[in-house]
Structure 1
Amino acid sequence: MYLLSWLLLFIQMAFIMLAIIAGLYYLAELIEEYTVATSRIIKYMTFSTAVIGLYIFECFPTCMIGMGLCTNLVCFGLLQTFPLVMLTSLNFILLCGLVEVNHYLEFQFFAEEYYPFSEVLAYFTFCLWIIPFAFFVSLSAGENVLPSTMQPGDDMVSNYFTKGKWGKCLGILVVFSFIKEAILPSRQKIY
């Protein structure tokens, strides 16, 4: 019975992981389909996070609130070219660094001050994780967008031919499509 319970726990965890992957895949498809609405939603989430960080959590240290506001400003900068999020852009690299510093400050604060776990989890989810998670899921939204403005040095045709198919498609949908094909291969049509 002991071994059976461990086996069933493993099977349940596998089903939970498959459900999360399917949900993320569906969410990435929605974001790819509605990029303008997604940009607005991320903008409103960033603004509401900044307002909540300023007014509701005013008992937090000033450096922690300031770092959160700096992170939100970098998020607004990243939204300027939203469907096209370049992983090598200064805004994206700065956002990754600020998120790590912000996490360090938050962990340090919550290690010294007691708050119930549910409140800490709610704070981390809404004020720290939701915006980077939204950008992570929307990384594949810029893959199929036609170029609307040309910046110096950006030639989409030559960039496509020099990098090839995999240089262009490095988003989360490619990863999920690979996992889907590995787990559930599609059937071949017989003529």
Structure 2
Amino acid sequence: MWFLYLLSWLSTGIQICFVTMAIAAGLYYLAELVEEYTVLTAKIIRWMVILTLVTYVGLFLFESLPVSMVVCGIIAQVTHLALLASFPFFSVTSPTFVAAMVMVLINHYLAFSFFGANYYPFAEVMAYFTICQWLVPFAFFVSLSVNENVLPMTSRGSERSPLLSPGDDDVVSNYFNKKQKGVGLLSVFNSIKESVTPAKTYHKSY
């Protein structure tokens, strides 16, 4: 009996590895799709935000959630709409991005406080977190890699690309320097792939 018990733990570890690999492959595929179809991605995220706003209205009308949770959730979605105005460019130091991150933290704190003090079925709690808390931020997280792969325009006047930093005049070289130091999801997966996958060697035949 103890041998089968050990096998159950071994099989659990194998299943976790397979699930992790499947999630990583799915995220990598999504990041490539977002990079390829930027305009369509922006439209999908906009409809996600609208769906979340409608969900908050439904929660306000049909559920007994605190008004603070609903109001803060709506404010978070408004900041997401503001982020879409410059999509696919993101600046982590912009007031809109900082406000969106702060609202994510506030909304999670309010949600954990409410559901910790009031009993709801696990499926309903997960439904709230999935649709209202995680759906739109996850879409923006996957879209971060797009910002690193958009070609720069110019470094003069109001057309300065967000990829450029003040004082940079060589647009092309700055673009490739930034691209090499990408921190988006696709860049992370590419770096992992390069470090794990052995480099291909070609032998010249005579």
TM norm structure 1: 0.89
Quick one: distance in 1 between partners of 2:25 and 2:129?
Answer: 24
Q: Which runs of 5+ in 2 are unaligned?
A: none
Match of 1:24 in 2: 27
Q: Which runs of 5+ in 1 are unaligned?
A: none
Partners of 2:152 and 2:172 within 8 A in 1: no
C-alpha deviation, 1:155, in angstroms = 5.3
Query: Which of these residues, 47, 52, 76, is aligned with residue 49 of structure 1?
Result: 52
After superposing the two structures, state which structure 1 stretch, 102-111 or 85-94, moved more. Answer: 85-94
Instruction: Return the structure number with greater relative CO, CA threshold 8 A, min gap 6.
Output: 1
Instruction: Give CA-to-partner distance per residue, 1:119-152, whole Å, 9 cap, x none.
Output: 1101110111010000001100121212457149
SS in 2 for 1:81: coil
Larger deviation, residues 167-176 vs 133-142: 167-176
- Give 3-state SS (helix, strand or coil) of 1:10's partner: helix
| Identity between Structure 1 and Structure 2 (%) | 46
Residue in 1 that maps onto 2:109? 104
Paired residues of 1:160 and 1:168 also in contact (CA < 8 A): no
Q: How do residues 52-63 of structure 1 correspond to structure 2 at under 5 angstroms?
A: 52-58=55-61, 59-63=64-68
- How far off its partner does 1:7 sit? 2.6
Specify which of 134, 138, 143 is matched with residue 133 of structure 1: 138
Map of 1:181 onto structure 2: 194
Question: For the pair shown, which has the larger CA radius of gyration, 1 or 2?
Answer: 2
Tell me whether 16-25 or 5-14 shows the greater mean CA deviation. 5-14
CA drift of 1:162 comes to 9.2
Amino acid at match of 1:145: V
Task: Identify the range of structure 1 (48-57 vs 68-77) with the bigger mean alpha-carbon deviation.
Answer: 48-57
Using the alignment, how far apart are the partners of 2:172 and 2:99 within structure 1? 25
Cα distance in 1, alignment partners of residues 88 and 59 from structure 2: 31
CA distance in structure 2 between the aligned counterparts of 1:154 and 1:137, rounded to whole angstroms: 30
2:183 equivalent among 170, 173, 185: 170
CA distance in 1, matches of 2:87, 2:167: 16
Q: Is the 8 A contact 2:52 2:131 kept in 1?
A: yes
The count of residues paired between Structure 1 and Structure 2 equals 191
Is the contact between residue 25 and residue 173 of structure 1 (CA under 8 Å) also seen in structure 2? yes
Residue in structure 2 matched with residue 33 of structure 1 by the alignment: 36
TM-score, structure 2 as length reference: 0.83
